[in-house]
Chain A
Amino acid sequence: MNVSRIRDDFPILKRRVNGKSLVYFDNAATSQKPTQVIEALGRYYREYNANIHRGIHKLAEEATIAHEEAREKVAKFINANHTEEIVFVRNATEAINLVAYAWGRANIKQGDKIVLTIMEHHSNIVPWQQLANEKGAKLEFIKIDEEGHLRQDEIHELIDERTKIVCITHASNVLGTINSIKEITRAAHRFGALILVDAAQSVPHMPVDARDLDCDFMAFSGHKMMGPTGIGVLYGKSKHFENMPPFLCGGEMIKEVHTTGASWKDLPYKFEAGTPNIAGAIGLGVAVDYLRNVGMETVHDHEKQITGYALSRMTEIDGLVVYGPKDVTKRVGVISFNLGDIHAHDLASIMDEEGIAIRSGHHCAQPLMEFLNVPAMSRASFYIYNTNEEVDVFINALEKARKLFNP
């Protein structure tokens, strides 16, 4: 793989920030977009902008085909059985909410258990808290060991016959830990519980096969995988989708409406009310093309390499603490850290002065931060277009910050 050729596809990487070349290490928050995706959005609006599904005219036909082709690309990308298992939503958060409302309100009863993990993003906690409060169900959290792996004993202790659903991130947006979903799926299915996988940090960065994981639902966002904002995906096994009531109701999702009631369209349209994000879906389809063209194994290998390089160089810095697994094969390209007693926001500001974009704060994972007893962390996260040279710039800036605060 030629990284410099890939970088040429991302115009934003040529930007200068505060007089320095941009080093974009905030990919876990959102990725940059290749020209191919940016152009596809423009082409849709310039050449065939129309509402989809019901139009009879040429533009509507072209837009409908492009929108549904995007669905096919996404289905193939995660190895779904069928396009009816792919529901377009706004983002992973909305995907999880859809399940918590439509499936959860119909299936969770008082005394039932919902099992989460302590490393979940708020988007995979709060919808379940709301559901549990409403139904009198119980939430339980699988905790982690010192290296940031889920505790095996708790997986098997907490998932039991009262458990109705297990909601777990595939890869932690803080620790980078890749969880063994198949094992947890087996544990859940043994008790007839379902499993929802938050794949927001895995689908963009490694091969993910929904059928192989055997998960019941999977949620991810387009904008973290080179696609536009405002488009996300909920994958679900057809048998669950068929039995679920709709989430949002209105136009597009109905078969017939009478004053006395309504009936729903077939899958997946039953869950897509109103005019969807047509341009977003088309853009996501092009992002999927881009990633398939590079190859997800290649993306993953590149990130393992750069993560390993960054981790080894970060150990050179006095007082730097890294969170999460040490083994690069067990993590994605997300490195959270603290440097001495420098506050994460001060560190991010100093990085910004050097043109380096990193994240700082609680990373929408306050229960994890509480568990680790750390008020805030800084986070560098990589993608296919990042280089070891950029890591060197980052290391120099960390060294500068250390000297500034501890002269």
Chain B
Amino acid sequence: MSSDIYKDIILDYYRNPRNFGDLADADVRAKDSNPLCGDIIEMQLKINDGKIDDVRFKGKGCAISQASASMLTEVIKGKSLDDVKAMGKSNVLELMGIDPGPTRIKCALLGLKVVKLAVYGYLGQAITEEVKQLV
């Protein structure tokens, strides 16, 4: 069974999402949706000394949005807030190992957008245009 964007790894993260659930002592939470698909992602971050100590996500939606968010949680754990702020589209696509194409790219980038919303929110900084345009 071959599928260009629904590789086993994507479906695996969709069916068994890593870091799914709530983080009771989260320092910041953020949530957003993709109006096209109705995908919803919420990120909860525990931040310590400018670094992401722990992270959980919750969400509903298509496989691309949920798998990418889950994969992202694994990568950002331990990263500095500056590093997370510097992440972009290419990091997510590399992580997923697929090119979802122009119609589905917003699904793939929703998780990253919500992580950035959380980080900017935590820092009390204004959301940049770059973040707004992710989804």
Binding site for B on A (CB under 8 A): 343-346, 349-350, 353, 361-362, 375-376, 400, 403-405, 407
Contact = CB atoms under 8 A, between A and B. Distances in A.
A361 B99 CA distance: 21
B111 to A, nearest CB: 15
B5 interface: yes
A375 B59 CA distance: 14
Interface of B: 1, 3-6, 11, 36-38, 60-64, 100, 103-104, 107
A404 B104 contact: no
Interface SS, A side: helix
Contacts of A344: 62
A343 B6 contact: no
Nearest to A362: B38
19 contacts: A343-B62, A344-B62, A345-B37, A345-B62, A345-B64, A346-B6, A346-B62, A349-B100, A349-B103, A349-B104, A350-B3, A353-B4, A361-B36, A403-B1, A404-B1, A404-B3, A404-B6, A405-B11, A405-B63
Contacts of B63: 343, 346, 405
A400 B1 contact: yes
B38 A346 contact: no
A353 B104 CA distance: 13
B134 to A, nearest CB: 17
Contact of A343 (B3, B5, B11, B37): B37
A349 B103 CA distance: 9
A353 B11 contact: no
A400 B61 CA distance: 20
Contacts of A405: 6, 11, 63
Contact of A376 (B11, B37, B103, B104): B37
A44 B3 CA distance: 45
Contacts of B11: 404-405
Contact of B37 (A350, A353, A361, A400): A361
Nearest to A405: B11
Nearest to B37: A345
A368 to B, nearest CB: 14
